[in-house]
Structure 1
């Protein structure tokens, strides 16, 4: 799975002012990522707001990204739910021929035990025709997938090939890197700790801020993988303030405002999310002007 080493981005879903999917803007954003040196694209991850989209809208997003990408970069599809059967049914019925892997979030809301998490992903691994990347994000799911559970899954199922680790705990990330099987990818899901994770042996990132500044962020990851530490940290600190800003009032409201400033799409989000306030919008605009 070396094609998923480096910088992936969790694509937003741009909406028009009437809240419909803006396919032209989505095509622009895909091209902006590719031109910026991104290594792969993640479709319908949390940043894409799939929780507020219906089936037809999701299909439209998938088809638009596949067409715009035109085979240029590997694609990863987000397929996750707290209903295990819903995930396995989709894996068995969906045409996944355009995708390299799926990204599947640990079950949210239900708060399963570690055994429950294991059994959930066991069912997914057995149903999936593609490699599976686990996604651990306790801030959204209300439960933490422990390293021991990850190792158990990685050793038991050859098609579980990596984890997007977003617990915000660098010690846990290092435990994953230290104990993982050979070839298993530990991918940062926290933009702010991406570089430390890469330098500790991580495989890269699935990023939000990289969407806004793909050249700078993907170059930072590349330098980190090459162990060019001083050069990589120079880029990290150049971007760091914007990472805090885009998550300050919720994702993807912050990154969508960056795209608005870049002229790529409107900054429309769907309820219960709302736009960033005027103060944060002003700070984001000033940062974009400085960096872009």
Structure 2
């Protein structure tokens, strides 16, 4: 089965729950994993940006990956985030991190360095050669400071073995359409923009790696399935009901928004690691009001 079939639908970028002392809250992570799987997600993504990976130690990352494999217990595929702006160090990470049970590796394009398109291409070419699992590109210029253009994505898709897909989060529908128009048949294209994924699926995307699926998994996965079935009347009805939630999730920062939702639902405690701080009280009240509807 190709990656396009295996990862079709909703993937969830899991948060990393913390205790009040700042430690990883593994019982809460277990509850969250069971919650999202029970409510319909097709796969989980661990160590994405939503998991506050810039603040995790290498040892914590290894422990979280292994814990996630154990709790998922092969019920759904697991994708592991391995991204950064030091190509040489990422190659080492690909050798050290436990990736034997991963379906794929998700790797954000280099942040802050602002490489040229050729630099982005060379970066991924090296990572793909080193990775024991298929690599999913991740274009998120709002965080990295540099857009990976459609021509670069397509060049990687057509020319570099082991590049298997992209999570496209440039908030640019025209760029998405260019990728979808010329991608190889095997190449997975998923959204990283929860609020745009319904029309992106109409253009040909295979699904989403979602933040909202942490806290609204049943409604969100139903919306994605309806979209993939081209039942856009049902999909629009569901999507319309979540538009306010999308705004609240990202109004200040991610994952402060989703952690506020999950805390109100009683799934995790509302703790983040600096420089991230909890959602403001004003927005948290709006989160509670939304969930009470």
The answer to whether TM tops 0.5 is yes
Residue matched to 2:83:
80
Which residue among 136, 158, 161 is the counterpart of 1:158? 161
**Aligned-partner SS, 2:196:** helix
- State the Cα RMSD in Å: 0.8
- In structure 1, the partner of 2:183 is 180
Q: Choose from 20, 27, 30 the match for 1:27.
A: 30
Q: CA offsets per residue over residues 17-52 of structure 1, 9 Å max, x none?
A: 111100000000000010010000000000000101
* Alpha-carbon offset, residue 219 of structure 1: 0.8
Following superposition, the deviation at residue 62 of structure 1 comes to 1.3
Is the contact made by 2:62 and 2:98 (CA closer than 8 Å) also made in structure 1?
A: no
Q: CA deviation at 1:94?
A: 3.0
Q: Which residue does 1:95 correspond to in 2?
A: 98
Give the CA deviation at 1:85. 0.7
Alignment of 1:264-283 (within 5 A): 264-283=267-286
Corresponding position of 2:241: 238
- Does the alignment pair 1:18 with 2:21? yes
- Give, in whole Å, the separation in 2 of the partners of 1:30 and 1:163: 23
Q: Is residue 192 of structure 1 aligned with residue 185 of structure 2?
A: no
- TM-score, with length taken from structure 2: 0.97
Q: Are the counterparts in 1 of residues 66 and 98 from structure 2 also a CA contact under 8 Å?
A: no
CA distance in 2 between partners of 1:227 and 1:158 (Å): 32
TM superposition shift of 1:66: 1.2
- 1:92 offset after TM fit, Å? 2.5
Runs of 4+ aligned residues of structure 1 deviating over 3 Å after TM superposition are none
d(CA) in 2 for partners of 1:93, 1:249: 34
Count of aligned positions? 290
Q: Which moved more, 1:53-62 or 1:207-216?
A: 53-62
1:110 aligned to which of 91, 113, 121: 113
Whether 2:71 is the aligned partner of 1:68: answer: yes
User: How far 1:240 sits from its partner (Å)?
Assistant: 1.1
